C-alpha cells in the first residue's frame, strides 16, 4: 500500500516536469466538453495505456519490443486522424463512419453522435493512445518501479504500481483540464470562436504528433527548465528504502570515500561507437559511467555537459561510458538507440544494458546516474539526477590529478543546451 501511494504521488509530480508537455495538446482537445463523458475517460485511458506500455518494459523478448513499436505507430496514426478531424469538420464525419460501427468515434463532437456511449468510448480510445505515446521523466519513483519489475519479473504488482503512477498524472491533468474547460467554455459562445479553437487544437495535436514521430520531443523539451522534483521524490523514497542507500556528495579526491569497485561489463553486450571495453583496458584511466536512456528528458538535459567533459578531458585520461538502460520497451531496439545517439550527439562509447545487468551491478535506482571511477577501478563518487555539474567536473579534475595527470585543464565547462 505504501508503494502504491508513492507511485501515485510520483505521477502527480509529473505535472511539474517538462515531460508532460507532449500530452497537453491531446488533453486540451477535450477542454470545454463535459468532463464525465470526455475528460475523465480520456485521462483514465491514458493511465491504462501508460500502465500497459510500462509493463512491457519489464518483459524480456523481441515480441515486447515489436508490440510496443506497433502500439506507438497505431497511436500516432489515431492522433494524426484526430488532429485532422479537428482541422477539417467534414473530414471528421467521413473518418467517423467506420468507427461508429465499432462503437467508437474519432470526432470530439458529442452532438454529432447522438449516443451517450460514443463520446465516452471515443475519449477512452484517445486516452489509451496518449498513454502509448507518453514517456514521463524517469524520476526516482518510476525508476524504483521499473527496476523492481525487471529484477523481480513481471507480475500483478508492476501493472498496479504503473497504473497508480498514471492515475497520479491523470489527477494533476484533471485539475488543469477543468480549469482550461472554464476558459474554453467562455470562448465557445460564438460559432467563430468555436471554429478557431477547433482549428488551433487540431494544429497543436498534429504538431505534437509530428514531434513525437520524429523523436524530437526529448531534445526539444530539454530546453525547458521546469521544477526538479527529484529531491522531493528521493525524500519520499527515503521513507521506504534502507538508510545509507542515498547519494554520496562529491568532494575532492583526497577525501572521497571508496564506495565500491567498477563491476565488469557483461560479455556479449552490444556497444556503440567503440569495440567492447573491459575493466583491464580501463585500468589507469578515470572513468565516468553515465546510466541513461534516450527518452528520458532528465538524461537528455545532462548530455551537453557529459559531451563537453568527454571532449575536454579525453586527452588527459578520462573515459566516458554511457550505459543505456531502457525505461520502456521501444528503447530496447538497438536501431532506435543508435539513431537517438546520433541525433543527440553522443559519440563516446555506449554499452547496451537491455537486461539491466550493469544497472543491478551498481545497485542503481535512477536515470540519469553518474558514477565516478578512479584510475584503480574504484567508485569514488556518485550523482543522481540533473544539476551539480560544477561539483561533478571538479571530481573529474581531482581524480585525474590523483591519477598523476599534471596538465589537467582548469576552469569549468558551460555548454549550451542542445
Q: Is residue 235 part of a domain?
A: no
194 and 296 co-located in one domain: no
Least confident of 15-19, 152-156, 335-339: 152-156
Nearest CA to 7 among 171, 214, 168? 168
pLDDT 10s digits, 364-394:
888 889 999 999 999 999 998 888 899 999 9
Higher pLDDT, 416 or 201: 201
332 and 397 co-located in one domain: yes
192 and 278 co-located in one domain: no
376 and 308 co-located in one domain: yes
Q: How many domains would you assign to the chain?
A: 2
Contacts of residue 114, Cβ cutoff 8 Å, sequence gap at least 6: none
Q: Which residues of 40-77 are buried (b: 16+ CB within 10 A; e: fewer)?
A: bbbbbbbbbbbbbbbbbbbbbeeebbebbeebbeebbe
What mean pLDDT do residues 24-29 have? 75
Report field, pTM of the whole predicted structure over 0.85:
no
176 and 300 co-located in one domain: no
165 and 252 co-located in one domain: no
Q: Is residue 362 predicted with pLDDT exceeding 60?
A: yes
Q: Is residue 117 part of a domain?
A: yes
15 and 125 co-located in one domain: yes
pLDDT 10s digits, 116-174:
445 677 778 778 888 777 777 666 777 777 766 666 555 667 778 888 888 888 888 88
Q: Is residue 412 part of a domain?
A: no
Q: Is residue 53 part of a domain?
A: yes
Q: Is residue 267 part of a domain?
A: yes
> Of the candidates 178, 196, 217, which is a domain's last residue?
217
Quick one: CA torsion of 65, 71, 75, 77, rounded to 10 degrees? 90
189 and 46 co-located in one domain: yes
CA–CA dist 410, 397 (Å, integer)? 8
202 and 253 co-located in one domain: no
287 and 171 co-located in one domain: no
Residue 128: the pLDDT is: 81
Q: What is the CATH number of the domain that holds 310?
A: 3.40.30.10
pLDDT band at 103 (very low <50, low <70, confident <90, very high): very low
> Of the candidates 170, 201, 217, which is a domain's last residue?
217
65 and 150 co-located in one domain: yes
6 and 56 co-located in one domain: yes
Query: Which residue intervals of 154-278 are DSSP H helices?
Result: 157-187, 191-213, 217-221, 230-237
Other CB atoms within 10 Å distance of the CB of residue 373: 24
Residue 112: the pLDDT is: 45
Q: Is residue 397 part of a domain?
A: yes
Q: Is residue 414 part of a domain?
A: no
Q: Is residue 9 part of a domain?
A: yes
Domain housing 204? 2-217
Amino acid at each position: 500500500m505504501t508503494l502504491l501511494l508513492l507511485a501515485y504521488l510520483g505521477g502527480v509530480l509529473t505535472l511539474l516536469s517538462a515531460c508532460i508537455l507532449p500530452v497537453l495538446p491531446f488533453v486540451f482537445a477535450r477542454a470545454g466538453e463535459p468532463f464525465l463523458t470526455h475528460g475523465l475517460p480520456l485521462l483514465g485511458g491514458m493511465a491504462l495505456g501508460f500502465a500497459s506500455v510500462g509493463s512491457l518494459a519489464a518483459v524480456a523478448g523481441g515480441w515486447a519490443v515489436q508490440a510496443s513499436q506497433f502500439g506507438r505507430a497505431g497511436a500516432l496514426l489515431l492522433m494524426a486522424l484526430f488532429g485532422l478531424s479537428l482541422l477539417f469538420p467534414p473530414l471528421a464525419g467521413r473518418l467517423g463512419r467506420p468507427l461508429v460501427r465499432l462503437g467508437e468515434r474519432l470526432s470530439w463532437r458529442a452532438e454529432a453522435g447522438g449516443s451517450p456511449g460514443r463520446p465516452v468510448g471515443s475519449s477512452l480510445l484517445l486516452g489509451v493512445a496518449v498513454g502509448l505515446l507518453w514517456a514521463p521523466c524517469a524520476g526516482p519513483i518510476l525508476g524504483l518501479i521499473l527496476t523492481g519489475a525487471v529484477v523481480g519479473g513481471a507480475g500483478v504488482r508492476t501493472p498496479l504500481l504503473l497504473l497508480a503512477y498514471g492515475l497520479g498524472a491523470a489527477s494533476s491533468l484533471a485539475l488543469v483540464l477543468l480549469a482550461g474547460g472554464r476558459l474554453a467554455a467562455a470562448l465557445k459562445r460564438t460559432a467563430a470562436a468555436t471554429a478557431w479553437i477547433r482549428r488551433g487544437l487540431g494544429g497543436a495535436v498534429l504538431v505534437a504528433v509530428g514531434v513525437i514521430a520524429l523523436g524530437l520531443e526529448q531534445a526539444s523539451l530539454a530546453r525547458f527548465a521546469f521544477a526538479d522534483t527529484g529531491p522531493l521524490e528521493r525524500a519520499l523514497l527515503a521513507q521506504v528504502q534502507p538508510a545509507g542507500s542515498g547519494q554520496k556528495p562529491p568532494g575532492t579526491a583526497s577525501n572521497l570515500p571508496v564506495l565500491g569497485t567498477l563491476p565488469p561489463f557483461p560479455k556479449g553486450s552490444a556497444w556503440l561507437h567503440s569495440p567492447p571495453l573491459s575493466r583491464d583496458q580501463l585500468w589507469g584511466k578515470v572513468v565516468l559511467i553515465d546510466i541513461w536512456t534516450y527518452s528520458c528528458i532528465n538524461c537528455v538535459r545532462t548530455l551537453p555537459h557529459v559531451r563537453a567533459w568527454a571532449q575536454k578531458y579525453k586527452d588527459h585520461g578520462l573515459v566516458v561510458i554511457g550505459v543505456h538502460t531502457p525505461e520502456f520497451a521501444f528503447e530496447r531496439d538497438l536501431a532506435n538507440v543508435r539513431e537517438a545517439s546520433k541525433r543527440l550527439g553522443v559519440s563516446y562509447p555506449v554499452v547496451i544494458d537491455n537486461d539491466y545487468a550493469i544497472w543491478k551491478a551498481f545497485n542503481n535506482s535512477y536515470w540519469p546516474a553518474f558514477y565516478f571511477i578512479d584510475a584503480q577501478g574504484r567508485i569514488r563518487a556518485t550523482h543522481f539526477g540533473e544539476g551539480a555539474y560544477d561539483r561533478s567536473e571538479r571530481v573529474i579534475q581531482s581524480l585525474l590529478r590523483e591519477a598523476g595527470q599534471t596538465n589537467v585543464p582548469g576552469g569549468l565547462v558551460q555548454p549550451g543546451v542542445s
